[in-house]
Structure 1
């Protein structure tokens, strides 16, 4: 087989357009595709990483904001909830943006846009500023959450199905790690007696660098452009919304806890901002680092199976948190919370691996084969990822609002953890009922019996 060529588009469309891209062709992948895909992955991770840092910077800034700022714990939870909400909502247009502008082009724009919330926060961050002003500026930071959706949609198109779990896990994990990195930088700033403006000032040059490097080293894939109809088709598919529900449980938990962990430690256990900062980065760090491993496990054993078992672990960790919260045991609470972060990271990797597998299975069930099946799967899975990421991030809003209500009603986070345990139970049941209920032996027998009429099965996704 002759490997497809990557002939650039006419000059009017720029010099960074790839006209032909077939990662499922092993010859093309080994000779050309892998090198190009990895290069784009590296700079996509960088941009997404900084986007996550800017999105979650208010989880750190509220720790700086002492009594002189005049904000109550409820105000702070409301502030972080609204930042999370904007980050979830903008993921939808960010998903469309890849098809409209091209992956590389939109990475440049989305990276540069991060200057807006960073400079705005740098300008208003001082005692005496009204809560409404902080809320408005905080909302701007939500655009950092959109980088994830466009980045995942873009990178999904670069890799073959057999590599998607690892690649998407690495892309997302590298982005997620922006959460603990900004918390670590904040710890250093607080330890050096610096203020929030110092933290914000550190990130401004890095944003510029990320945008420039995306312009220099990334590519657009022509076949992805102008396919805005893919998102509409994906939105009509029930699996997009089922996976959105499951992703609320994994990523929604990760981002929600990332915003709330420090506040829970300061409000429930009386930790100082510095004491809280020494701990808060550990959970997001481990949860981010393990996400590619979750994708790798899903590649090897099936995303649905790993997701199912992962929800069991999340339920157990949450039950331990409820016990530790009631017993006011800081040590047990911290260990269980960090373990829950690790499990959210594993689940993030396994759920995202399921998405391309589901649409590939649907393509095969339709009778499509070879590149036609792969193209169908890439098209719908890429589009659905942005929508799933948007809905999943809403879980972070729910978590912060649940903590807010729990502290208002009970003075602790125990009530919120009970609600989370019930939700993880529901996620377990949905995963089993939709993707694993049919026995594997039955699936194999049905497939063998009707070779010319493929059977739709999600047991191995």
Structure 2
């Protein structure tokens, strides 16, 4: 290891699959980078989901109806999803540590813009543009996951990626708790207090990343890996499944408070006091999903998660029809927890799938590990982007349901059907043991089998 390049902290040799290297040097360095990656991603998630809280501050004096508010949060979701694609490549272009610093400082733009316009009388078009700016916070997830994926050996990826993503996801409930604090103490007319609180946090995260993180020289820009990942059917299958897990988590996180206001008549303070619980629990269990996937296989945990999500959605549909807020909260909280578990298990599946692809090609040892890292790193950004688009789908479904019927029941029913489809795909592709996976399935001692990734 050494600073072989100018302009930053570069590590030239990195081989986490080498047990001696990992024990003597690698684990300590990887964990240090993980800590500061989590911090930056955490604030990125908070900024990305900023408008899930800002809409709670927007009373009648803003002149924006519920459909307009759902469109605001949908705009932030969409831009954040597409931002994940270039952010994935940025790690290879600039280095993980360098890009973490830059991407953290970019969060100042949406915070500053929101601070400037957050008042009655601002045009709706301006609010849409400012909401779109928060998408840079959504991109942080892709670069962070791509970076941390390269630091850890395959046997540790489920835990490491789950912890990295879970720590980032916690930015959602922390922002919502901060919003609750502002509404509860200063009132719904002081949104700028919340925005001002995050500006120094961004500067702290950027400074710590600059001082404590590293770049990996081995993670070089490889457009060939991206093209190959695009051609892999498993990339798109996993992207579809990630719509069901992460798309649900982020879509519900954005919309839940507004749903409580619109369907159940909660005040901003009442809604804010309830919205953070589900995202908090879902974030905390994401590393658990990764750990369970490490032990039992990602596909098994993912299938069980989708089955449970379908059952929880049935509870939500029943609660919506009967207009029972307590039952609704129980069902929705379960959905947050289960989506968090599924986030961890699906992301664990990705490096295992591409390691098995390497073994099926006849590669072994370092060559197989390098191939798996190369393809999984490229695929993660694509999968993360498509999965995040699922959050837009959730918000659009709510918008349409409330526009046509004044209730979210139709949207919940659509979600139930989608989870049933996710169950079928997970079982058919990764648990049915198709004939085409027999060669790959022989690699159980080296990597998770394709049938139990």
TM-score interval, smaller chain: over 0.9
* Cα contact 1:120–1:137 (8 A) shared by 2: yes
Matched, 1:135 2:116: no
Q: Deviations over 1:54-98 (max 9, x none)?
A: 000100000000000000000000111111000000100000111
Moved more, 147-156 or 193-202: 193-202
CA distance in 2, matches of 1:113, 1:395: 24
Please tell me whether residue 220 in structure 1 is matched to residue 215 in structure 2.
yes
- Map of 1:460 onto structure 2: 452
> Match of 1:347, SS?
helix
TM-score w.r.t. length of structure 2: 0.97
Report how far residue 15 of structure 1 moved.
Answer: 4.4
Counterpart of 1:184? 177
> Deviation of residue 444 (structure 1)?
9.5
Residue 423 of structure 2 corresponds to 428
Q: Does 1:47 align with 2:40?
A: yes
The corresponding residue for 1:3 is none
Check if 1:319 corresponds to 2:314: yes
- Equivalent residue number for residue 57 of structure 2: 64
Counterpart of 2:146 (choices 122, 141, 153) is 153
Q: Give the match for residue 335 of structure 2.
A: 340
What residue in structure 2 maps to residue 31 of structure 1?
24
> CA separation of 1:94/1:455 partners in 2, compared to 1, >3 Å: closer, same or farther?
closer
What residue number does 2:365 align with? 370
Q: Report if aligned partners of 1:321, 1:333 keep a CA contact under 8 Å in 2.
A: yes
CA–CA separation in structure 2 for the residues paired with 1:211 and 1:226: 23
Is the contact made by 1:365 and 1:455 (CA closer than 8 Å) also made in structure 2?
Answer: no
SS in 2 for 1:459: helix
Check conservation: 2:11, 2:215, Cα contact below 8 A: yes
Give yes or no for the alignment of 1:260 onto 2:260: no
CA contact (8 A) 1:362 1:456 kept: no
Q: Is the 8 A contact 2:352 2:447 kept in 1?
A: no
Counterpart in 2 of 1:360? 355
Change (3 A) 1:445 1:371: closer
2:228 aligns with 233
Structure 2, unaligned runs of 5 or more: none
Question: Structure 1-normalised TM-score?
Answer: 0.95
Aligned to 1:271: 266
Q: Contact 2:360/2:439 (CA < 8 Å) preserved in 1?
A: no
Q: Which residue of 2 aligns with 1:380?
A: 375
Q: 1: CA distance between counterparts of 2:241 and 2:102?
A: 30
User: Per the alignment, in what secondary structure is the counterpart of residue 24 of structure 1?
Assistant: coil
- Asked whether 1:89 is paired with 2:78, we answer no
The answer to whether residue 387 in structure 2 is matched with residue 392 in structure 1 is yes
Corresponding residue number in structure 2 for 1:296 = 291
Deviations 1:148-178 (A, max 9, x none): 0000000000000000000000000000000
* Structure-1 separation of matches of 2:368 and 2:19: 16
Alignment correspondent of 1:74: 67
Q: Which runs of 4+ in 1 moved over 3 A?
A: 442-448, 454-457
Give per-residue Cα distances to partners, 1:153-206, cap 9 Å, x unaligned: 000000000000000000000000000000000111111125110000000000
In structure 2, relative to structure 1, the CA distance for the partners of 1:69 and 1:303 (3 Å cut) is same
Inter-partner Cα distance in structure 2 for 1:210 and 1:160: 26
Alignment partner for residue 203 of structure 2, among 186, 190, 208?
208
Q: CA deviation at 1:459?
A: 1.4
In the other structure, the counterpart of 2:96 is 103
Question: 2 CA distance for matches of 1:81 and 1:246?
Answer: 20
Aligned counterpart for 1:121 among listed residues 111, 114, 118:
114
CA drift at 1:460: 2.3
User: Which sections of structure 1, spanning at least 5 residues, go unmatched?
Assistant: 1-5
Distance 1:177 1:213 in 2: 19
Aligned length: 449
Shift in CA distance, 252/456, structure 1 to aligned 2, threshold 3 Å: closer
Alignment deviations for residues 87-119 of structure 1 (CA, whole Å, 9 cap, x no partner): 000100000111111111110100000000000
Taking the TM superposition and a 5 Å limit, the aligned residue runs for 1:398-437 are 398-437=393-432
| 8 A contact 2:356–2:440 mirrored in 1 | no
The RMSD of aligned alpha carbons is: 1.8
Cα distance in structure 2, aligned partners of 1:443 and 1:95: 32
> What is the SS of the residue equivalent to 1:290?
helix
Q: Distance in 2 between matches of 1:263 and 1:184?
A: 15
Task: Provide the rounded CA distance (Å) in 2 between the counterparts of 1:262 and 1:420.
Answer: 18
Distance 1:456 1:434 in 2: 15
Q: CA deviation at 1:235?
A: 1.3
CA distance in 1, matches of 2:225, 2:199: 35
Deviation at 1:447, TM superposition (A): 3.6
